[in-house]
Structure 1
Amino acid sequence: MKQLLLFNLFLFLGATLFAQDKMLVHRPDGTATFQISESDSVYFSADHSIIYFKIAGNLTDYYVSEIDSITFDVSLDSTVYVTYDGSTVSVINPLSDAGVAVETDGADVVIHSTSAIKNINYVLSGTTGDGMFKIYSDERYNLLLNGVQITNNDGPAINIQSGKHARINLVAGTASTLADGPDYAAPAVDENGEEEGQSATFFSEGELIFTGSGSLTINSFGSDQHGLRSDDYIQVDEGSITITSAEKDGMHGKEGVYINGGTVLITSSGDGIDGDEGVADITGGSVTVHSVEDDVKAVKSDGPITISGGTVQITVAGKQSKGIDSDVEINLSGGDVNISTTGGVVLEASGQGYDPSYCSAINCNGDVNISGGYLNIMSTGTAGRGISCDGNLYVDGGEITITASGNGAKYTNENGVDDAYHGSCINVDGDFVFNSGAITASNSGSGGKGISTDGGFVIGDGSSTPVLGLTTTGARITITSGGPGPGSQGDYDESKTIKSDGPVTINSGLVTISSADDGIKSDEAITMNGGSVSINQSVEGVEAPNITMNGGEISIYASDDGFNATYGNGGEQNDGSLLAINGGYVHISASGGDAMDSNGNISISGGTIVVHGPQSSPEVGMDVNGSCLISGGFLVISGTNSNMTEGASNSSTQYSLLLRTNSAIPANTLFHLEDSNGNELVTFAPRRNYYSIIFSSSQLANGATYKLYTGGTHSGQQLNGLYTGGSYSGGTLKKTFTISNIVTNVSF
C-alpha cells in the first residue's frame, strides 16, 4: 500500500513539479530537503523496497518502510525571469496570480507589482539593442543583472519607478551593460499628472544597493542626463561599476552616495559622484573618477564628504574644476586618496575687474578635517590649489603630500587695482590647526605659496610631533615695478612657504622650510613655544610685527633678514614692533641682510642665540630702531663695521659687549673670550668675514677683566660655529679689558 501511495504521489509531482520549490522526505531520524528544480528522476528498486532520488546528479536512496511521508513546500517561486533576445523578450512570471503583472512591447518590459511579497527576484539576462526594463513595486525587491545587455535609444535602459528599497545584484561571473540614446522620448505621466523621472541611463526613484561580484558598465549618451541616478541614495557594497560617459553626473544620489566596497570607475562631463543633498561617504573599495570638463567636481556633495577607507583616484582636467568639493564639511580619516589636477584658473568678471576662480584638488565651503589616511595631490594647472577651504582646516593625523607647479599672473581685481593670482598648496580662509601627522608640500609656480591662511596657524599641541616640510621655488610676480631712484619699491607677489594674516604659533613638531622668499610671515605675530624649525633657505626667514621665542629650536638661513620684526612701513622710526627671545635655541645665518632686525624693540631674557651676520655694510648682525633690552640668555652675533652696528641698550640688566675692529677678520677664524683665570666664556667661528661681535652672557660681571683672542684652534664640539667642551689654544691675544658699564664697547 505504501508503494502505491508513493507512486501516486510522484504522479502528482510530475504534474506540479514547477509549481513547488522543495520536496521534504520525512523519516524517524529526521527530514531530508531537496530542491525540486534540481531533481533528475525518482524510481524504485525491482522489489519496490527501496526508493531512489537522483538530485543534481547525485543518487540518494531510502528504504520505503523507513519513510513516514513526503511533503512539498507550497511557497510560491518568488523569481521573475526576463530574458531579452534582440527585438523580443520572454518573461517567466510565477507570480501573476500574486500581484505581479508584466507588460511587454517588443523588447520593452514594464513590471507592475502590487504583491505583498517582499524581496521578489527579477532576473535580467540576454541582449537587446532597442529595449528597456521598467518597474513599479509596492514592496522592496531584488534586481539581478545576469549578464544582461540593454540599449534603449529613447530613454533609460533601466527605469525604476518605485520608491522602495532595491538591491541590485551583479551576478557573479557576469558582465552587464546598459546604454541609452541622445534623445529621450517624453516621460510618462503618473496618476497625479506629474511627469515621471527618467534622468539617467539607470534611473531609480528609490534607494539602490549594489551587491554581487559581477560587473556593470553604463554607457550614457543621453543629452543632459546622468549615468546612474537615484532620487534616494546609492550604496555600493560589492561588484564593479564602470560609467564610461555621461553628459551630466556619472553617479548621482539625491540623498547621498555610500561606497563601502567594490570598484567604481567614472568618466563624465558633469560631476563624477554627486551626493546632492545628502553625503558622499567612502569607507572601502576602489573609486576612480576622471573629470574632463570645466567647472565640474569629481566627488561632490552639498552635505559632508567622508573618506575613511578604500582607494580613491581622481583626475581633474577642467578649468576652475574641483577634485573633492563639499558645501559643508570634508572628513578624511583613512584610505588612500590620490588627486591630480591640470585645470587652470578662470577670471570671472566682478566689479571693476575680475575675481579668480581656481582649480582645486580639495575645496570646501566649511571645515576640512584630516585625521588619518594618505592624501597625495599633484597640481600642474595655472595657479592650481591643493587644499582650499573657506572654514578651518584641522589636521590630526595622516600623511599629506602636495606638489604644485602652476604659475600665477598679474590681473585687475574687482576694485580695478592691479593684483596677482597664484597657486597654494594649502589655502585656508579660517584657522589652520596642525596637531599631528605629516605634511610635505612644494610649489614651483610663480608667486606660489606653500601654506596661506587668513586666520591663524597653530603647529602642535605641545605633546605631539607633527612633521611639516615646505618648499617654494617659484619666481615673484611683478604687479608694479619700482622706480630707478634709491628707496623706490615695487609691488610683488612672492613665493612664500608660510603666509598667515593671523598669528602663527608653534608649540611642538618638526618644521623644515626651503623658501624662494619668506620662510614664515604673519601680519600679526609669530610665537614659538617648542618644537624644531629649520629654515634652510629664504630671503627673510621669519617676519611679523611681533616675534616671540619662548622655547624650542630654530635655525634660519636667509639672504636678507633672519628675524624681521616689522609692521612693514619702512623707515628708521620705532614702529612698535617687538622681537622677544625668552628661551629656546636660535641659530641665524644672514648673508645679505640684518640677521636680527626690529623696526621696534628687541627683548632678550633667555635662551641661546647664535648669529652669523652679513660681511658687508650697511647691513649688520643686529639692527633695532628702538631699544634692545637684555636681561638674560646667551648671545653671540658676528657682523660688519657699518655705522649702524649697535649693541644692547644701557637700560639692560645683563652685561653685554660690543667688540669692533677696523680690519676684517676672515671667515671661520675663531673669536675667543676668557676671563682672567683662563675660563672660557665663548669660542665662536663666524661663517663670513667679520668686523664686530655682540656678546652677552650671565657670566659677564662688572669689574671683571677679560681677554680677547682671534685665531687658534679648539678641541671641543662645534654646533653652528659655537664650540663647547674641549679647550682653546694657539690664538692671538688682541685685547685685555675690564667691564665697567652694563654695555661695554671694546675696540681691538
Structure 2
Amino acid sequence: MTKRKWKTGIAACMVSTAILTACSQSTDPQTDAASSAKTDSAIVVNYTKDELNTEWDAANATSIELTDSGATFNETDWVSFEGKVLTIKAGGTYVLSGNSANGQIVVDAEDEVAVHLIFNGVSVTNEDGAAVNIIQAEQTILTLAKGTENSVKDGAKYEKTGEDDPNAVIFSKDDLSINGSGSLTVEGLYNNGILSKDELKIAGAQLKVQAKDDGIIGKDLAAIKDGNVTISSGGDGIKATNSKEDDKGNVALETSTIAITAGAEGIQAKNTLSVNGGTYTIAAGGGSPETVSKKAEAPPGSTSTSPEKVSKEQTGKGLKASQSITITDGSIQVDASDDAIHSNGDVTISGGTLTLETGDDGIHGDGQVTLSGGKIDILKSYEGIEGNAITISDGTISVNSTDDGVNISSTSETDDPNNDSSKRLLTISGGHLSVNANGDGLDANGSIAMTGGTVLVEGPMSDGDGALDYDETFQMDGGILIASGSAGMAMASSDSSKQPSILMTYSEVQKAGTLIHLEDSTGEAIATVAPSKDYQAVFISSPDLKKNETYSLFSGGKSTGTPVNGLYQDGTYSGGKETVSVTLTDTVTWMNESGVTEAKNNMHGAPNGGMPGGSDGNNFEKGQKPDGQPPSGEKGELFDGLDENVKKEAMTILEKERSGELTREEAQQQLAELGVEMPQRPTDKK
C-alpha cells in the first residue's frame, strides 16, 4: 500500500489587512498571531501564508477524480471511498476534479496538519446532506484553481437534522479558508450556503452563493479580503454568530466586491463589523418602500409606540452589529426595508462613499455615532441619522427624511440610570451637512454644540416640527448654519453662544426657490440660499456676523453663482426686495418684516430656544418645568392648565394632523369637541 507524502513544516507569513510583516517558519500557522483581534477602531484580520497560497506541489499531492459512481485515486491510507462518501483522513494536499451527481466530500483529519483541498474543476451534489462536510481538521484551506469553474449543491431535505448535524452545503466544525482565482457556485436548497463553526476566511475567491436561509456564516469570524462574492439568501447574507465571547462574532470586509440580496439582514455581526475598502451592494428585507410614510408617534405620557413604527429588532437591515460598526473606506450602496446601518452600540465612519435608502433610519447607533470623513448620501429614510450622541467633524453628508433628519435620541432609565442629559449631544465641528426633513431638521433630546462646518437644513412646514429642535441648549460658537422651515416651532441658538445669529419669521409663507440673501452694510454678502421647500422662518448664523453691525435681509431675486444644496458660495446677487434691516445688539436676534422683535415662546415653552427661564434653564432645577412637574419628553406644553387626559388627547390630534392622518379642519373639529381651541399658526393671524 502506497502512502502519500506530506510536508510537516509549514511556512507561515502573517499578512495583516494593513501591514505586511516578516515571514517566519512554524509547524502551526496559528501560533504566529491571532487570526483576528478587535481594536478600538476596527478589526485587524491576519491571513497566514497558507491561507493566501493558491499554488501546490503536484509531487506531494493526492489526485482524486470524482465520478457519478465513485472516485479514482492512488491507493492510500489517508483517503477512502465508501458508498457515496469520499473521506480525507489526514492533513496534506488533495487535488479534486470531476463530477459527482450524488456524493459527498468529508474531511475527518485527527493530525495537526492543515488539509489543503484543491478544487480543480469539481461539481458535487448531495441530495440528502452537505456536499462538503468538515468534521474535524487542524484547518481546512479550499483553493479554487485558476481558470476552473466549480459547484456544490445540496437537496431540500437532509437525512440528519440534529442540532450538531450539518446544515449548509459547505459545513465545517473547524477553521475554514477559501482562496484562489477560480470560481465556486454554492446552491443551498435546504438551509445555509457556507458555514464554519469556527473562523471563516475568504481571500481572493470568486463565489456565487444561493441559500434558502443564510448565505455565508462564520461563528467566530467571517472575513473576506479581495473577494468577488454574490449572495442571494432568504435569511442573512453574511453573518458572524458568536455572542458569548467579547472578542469573537466579528465580520471584517476588505477591498472586496460583494453583492447581496437578502430576505433578512444584509450583513450581521454579533460583535463588531468593519469595512475597509471595496464595493458593496446590499438589498435587505425586500428593499426600501417606494415612499417612506410618516409614522404616528406615541401621545404625551404614553409608553407605547405606534404599530407603524419599525421595531429595531425587525429584520431587513443593511449592515447590523451588536457592538460596533466601523467603515474606513469603500463604496457602499444599501437599499433596506429597515435601518441601512444599525449598531446596538457605536457607529464610526471615517471614509468611503455611502448611498443609503431605507424604510427606517439611514444610520442608527444606540451609542455614539461618529462621522469624520467620506461622502454619505441618505436618499430616503424615516429618520436620517440617529444616536444617543452624534459627532460630525468632517465629510459630506446629505440627508432626506420623512421625520427627523439628525436625531439625538432620548436615553431610557435602563440605558442611563442617572438620566445624564449631558451625554445626549449633537456636536458639529466640521464637514458639510445638508438636511431635508419633513420632521425636525436637527433634533436633540439633549443639546447641540457647533464650532465649525457648514450645515443647511430644510425643515418641515408642519408647525408641529421645526428646522431646529432641542431640549436643553444650543451652543453656536462657529461654522455656517442656515435652517429654514415652519414658524410654529422655530428655535434659535442659546443666548450664551459666542457667534451671532438671526431668526427671521415672515408674515406669509415663502414659496420654494425664493432666494434668501443676507448682506452687511457695505453690500458684502453673508449668505445667499434658495430653499427647495416652502418656508416661513429662517435661522442664519455665520462667522461673518458681528454684534453692533447692521445687516439687510432680501427676498427673491437671483444669483449668478452655482448653488450647492441651495447655498450660493460665489456669484453676484441682484433683483431682490429688501425685507428688513437690523442692527445686531444681541447674540441672538429675532426679527420680522418690522424689525427686531422679542424672542417668542417656542413649543418648549421657553424663549430664545432654551429651557424655561432662559437660554440655559438656570431658573429651574435641571429638567423641571415651571410648575415643578417632571419633563414629559415631548415637544412642549401647548395646553397648559388642561386636565392631563384632555391634554394627551389634544396632543394626539395635533400629531395626527402633523402626520397627514387628519386635515387641519378635521383636527379643529376634534379639538372643539374636547373644548380646546386649535393653536394659531402665524399664518392664521390677521
TM-score normalised by L of structure 1: 0.61
Q: Structure 2 CA distance, aligned partners of 1:554 and 1:394?
A: 24
Q: Which residue of 2 aligns with 1:103?
A: none
Q: Which residue of 2 aligns with 1:438?
A: 279
Q: Which residue of 1 aligns with 2:150?
A: 287
Report the alpha carbon displacement of residue 322 of structure 1 after superposing the two structures with TM.
2.0
- Relative contact order, CA 8 A, sep 6+: which one is greater? 2
Report the alpha carbon displacement of residue 718 of structure 1 after superposing the two structures with TM.
0.7
Q: 1:167 to 1:370 in 2, by over 3 A?
A: closer
Q: Structure 2 CA distance, aligned partners of 1:561 and 1:626?
A: 18
Asked whether the equivalents of residues 61 and 94 of structure 2 are also in contact (C-alpha less than 8 Å), the reply is no
Asked whether the equivalents of residues 62 and 74 of structure 2 are also in contact (C-alpha less than 8 Å), the reply is no
Report the alpha carbon displacement of residue 574 of structure 1 after superposing the two structures with TM.
8.6
Asked whether the equivalents of residues 307 and 335 of structure 1 are also in contact (C-alpha less than 8 Å), the reply is yes
Equivalent residue pairs, number: 483
Alignment of 1:453 onto 2:311: no
Q: 1:712 to 1:289 in 2, by over 3 A?
A: same
Q: Structure 1 CA distance, aligned partners of 2:68 and 2:272?
A: 48
Alignment of 1:367 onto 2:221: yes
Asked whether the equivalents of residues 496 and 516 of structure 1 are also in contact (C-alpha less than 8 Å), the reply is yes
Question: Which of residues 692, 697, 703 in structure 1 aligns to 2:542?
Answer: 697
Q: Structure 2 CA distance, aligned partners of 1:525 and 1:118?
A: 56
Trace 1:576-615 onto structure 2 (pairs within 5 A).
576=422, 577-590=424-437, 592-615=438-461
What residue identity is the alignment partner of 2:316?
G
Trace 1:248-647 onto structure 2 (pairs within 5 A).
249-254=104-109, 257-268=115-126, 269-278=128-137, 279-285=139-145, 286-292=149-155, 293=157, 296-309=167-180, 310-318=182-190, 321-341=191-211, 343=212, 359-379=213-233, 381=234, 383-390=235-242, 391-404=249-262, 406=263, 423-445=264-286, 447-460=315-328, 465-472=329-336, 474=337, 495-567=338-410, 575-576=421-422, 577-590=424-437, 592-642=438-488, 644-647=489-492
Q: Which residue of 2 aligns with 1:133?
A: none
Q: 1:166 to 1:625 in 2, by over 3 A?
A: closer
Alignment of 1:245 onto 2:102: yes
Q: Structure 1 CA distance, aligned partners of 2:364 and 2:61?
A: 56
Q: What's the Cα RMSD here?
A: 2.6
What residue identity is the alignment partner of 2:273?
F
What residue identity is the alignment partner of 2:325?
F
Q: 1:167 to 1:606 in 2, by over 3 A?
A: closer
Report the alpha carbon displacement of residue 277 of structure 1 after superposing the two structures with TM.
1.4
Q: Which residue of 2 aligns with 1:420?
A: none
Q: Structure 2 CA distance, aligned partners of 1:235 and 1:397?
A: 28
Out of 613-622 and 255-264, give the one that drifted further: 255-264
Q: Structure 1 CA distance, aligned partners of 2:283 and 2:511?
A: 37
Report the alpha carbon displacement of residue 508 of structure 1 after superposing the two structures with TM.
1.1
Q: Structure 2 CA distance, aligned partners of 1:118 and 1:741?
A: 88
Q: Structure 1 CA distance, aligned partners of 2:102 and 2:67?
A: 16
Asked whether the equivalents of residues 708 and 734 of structure 1 are also in contact (C-alpha less than 8 Å), the reply is yes
Question: Which of residues 68, 73, 77 in structure 2 aligns to 1:206?
Answer: 77
What residue identity is the alignment partner of 1:315?
E
Report the alpha carbon displacement of residue 555 of structure 1 after superposing the two structures with TM.
0.6
Q: 1:267 to 1:730 in 2, by over 3 A?
A: same
Report the alpha carbon displacement of residue 688 of structure 1 after superposing the two structures with TM.
1.1
What residue identity is the alignment partner of 1:450?
G
Q: 1:177 to 1:448 in 2, by over 3 A?
A: closer
Asked whether the equivalents of residues 205 and 232 of structure 1 are also in contact (C-alpha less than 8 Å), the reply is no
Asked whether the equivalents of residues 166 and 206 of structure 1 are also in contact (C-alpha less than 8 Å), the reply is no
Q: Which residue of 1 aligns with 2:500?
A: 655
Can you give the 5+ residue segments of structure 2 that lack an aligned partner in the other structure? Answer: 6-59, 162-166, 243-248, 287-313, 414-418, 594-686
Asked whether the equivalents of residues 408 and 443 of structure 2 are also in contact (C-alpha less than 8 Å), the reply is yes
Q: Structure 2 CA distance, aligned partners of 1:340 and 1:204?
A: 36
Asked whether the equivalents of residues 119 and 150 of structure 2 are also in contact (C-alpha less than 8 Å), the reply is no
Q: Deviations over 1:269-321 (max 9, x none)?
A: 22211232113322223331112235622112222211121211101111xx2
Asked whether the equivalents of residues 510 and 532 of structure 1 are also in contact (C-alpha less than 8 Å), the reply is yes
Q: Structure 2 CA distance, aligned partners of 1:265 and 1:665?
A: 67
Q: Structure 2 CA distance, aligned partners of 1:204 and 1:523?
A: 59
Q: Structure 1 CA distance, aligned partners of 2:454 and 2:445?
A: 22
Q: 1:561 to 1:177 in 2, by over 3 A?
A: closer
Q: Structure 1 CA distance, aligned partners of 2:4 and 2:232?
A: 49
Q: Structure 2 CA distance, aligned partners of 1:538 and 1:625?
A: 23
Report the alpha carbon displacement of residue 176 of structure 1 after superposing the two structures with TM.
5.7
Can you give the 5+ residue segments of structure 1 that lack an aligned partner in the other structure? Answer: 1-112, 120-164, 180-199, 210-217, 344-358, 407-422, 475-494
Q: Structure 2 CA distance, aligned partners of 1:168 and 1:308?
A: 19
What residue identity is the alignment partner of 1:400?
I
Secondary structure at the aligned position of 2:545 is classed as coil
Report the alpha carbon displacement of residue 447 of structure 1 after superposing the two structures with TM.
3.9
Asked whether the equivalents of residues 453 and 501 of structure 1 are also in contact (C-alpha less than 8 Å), the reply is yes
Asked whether the equivalents of residues 273 and 320 of structure 2 are also in contact (C-alpha less than 8 Å), the reply is no
Asked whether the equivalents of residues 673 and 709 of structure 1 are also in contact (C-alpha less than 8 Å), the reply is yes
Report the alpha carbon displacement of residue 569 of structure 1 after superposing the two structures with TM.
5.1
Q: Structure 1 CA distance, aligned partners of 2:237 and 2:558?
A: 52
What residue identity is the alignment partner of 2:430?
G
Secondary structure at the aligned position of 1:564 is classed as strand
Q: 1:663 to 1:204 in 2, by over 3 A?
A: farther
Q: 1:203 to 1:622 in 2, by over 3 A?
A: farther
Q: Deviations over 1:646-682 (max 9, x none)?
A: 1000011111111111210001100111111111011
Asked whether the equivalents of residues 401 and 439 of structure 1 are also in contact (C-alpha less than 8 Å), the reply is yes
Q: 1:685 to 1:569 in 2, by over 3 A?
A: farther
Q: Deviations over 1:38-85 (max 9, x none)?
A: xxxxxxxxxxxxxxxxxxxxxxxxxxxxxxxxxxxxxxxxxxxxxxxx
Secondary structure at the aligned position of 1:698 is classed as coil
Report the alpha carbon displacement of residue 541 of structure 1 after superposing the two structures with TM.
0.3
Asked whether the equivalents of residues 368 and 389 of structure 1 are also in contact (C-alpha less than 8 Å), the reply is no
Secondary structure at the aligned position of 2:275 is classed as strand
Asked whether the equivalents of residues 470 and 514 of structure 1 are also in contact (C-alpha less than 8 Å), the reply is yes
Q: 1:168 to 1:556 in 2, by over 3 A?
A: closer
Report the alpha carbon displacement of residue 398 of structure 1 after superposing the two structures with TM.
1.3
Q: Structure 1 CA distance, aligned partners of 2:332 and 2:369?
A: 16
Report the alpha carbon displacement of residue 251 of structure 1 after superposing the two structures with TM.
3.8
Report the alpha carbon displacement of residue 507 of structure 1 after superposing the two structures with TM.
1.0
Report the alpha carbon displacement of residue 511 of structure 1 after superposing the two structures with TM.
1.0
Q: Structure 2 CA distance, aligned partners of 1:563 and 1:505?
A: 16
Trace 1:160-171 onto structure 2 (pairs within 5 A).
167-168=62-63, 170=65
Q: Structure 2 CA distance, aligned partners of 1:205 and 1:386?
A: 38
TM-score normalised by L of structure 2: 0.67
Q: Structure 1 CA distance, aligned partners of 2:154 and 2:4?
A: 39
Report the alpha carbon displacement of residue 203 of structure 1 after superposing the two structures with TM.
12
Q: Deviations over 1:487-544 (max 9, x none)?
A: xxxxxxxx11111011101111111111111000010010011111111111100000
Asked whether the equivalents of residues 237 and 260 of structure 2 are also in contact (C-alpha less than 8 Å), the reply is no
Question: Which of residues 24, 45, 69 in structure 2 aligns to 1:178?
Answer: 69
Alignment of 1:230 onto 2:88: yes
